[in-house]
Amino acid sequence: MLGWALTFLVIAIIAGVLGFSGIAGAASTIAQILFFVFLIAMVIGLIFGLGRRT
């Protein structure tokens, strides 16, 4: 999932440099959403991992 976030981030940067502001804004929003979903999934995984270790 982090790979998808990085992909959309690169698309947003390229679109922004080329002047496609609508596409750049949409791609950066998708990248932010995917990054935070990945971050939440990682925290949940860490919590469950610590609970199993005992």
The residue length of the chain stands at 54
| Residue 46 DSSP SS3 | helix
Domain enclosing residue 37, as ranges? 2-53
Per-residue pLDDT, averaged over 6-25, amounts to: 86
pLDDT bin (cut points 50, 70, 90) of residue 54 is low
Instruction: Report how many domains make up the chain.
Output: 1
C-alpha distances in Å from residue 28, one per residue of 41, 46, 53: 20, 27, 37
Residue 25 binned pLDDT confidence (cut-offs 50, 70, 90): confident
Placement of tokens 């939440």 in the chain? 40
Whether the model clears a pTM of 0.85, i.e. scores above it, the answer is no
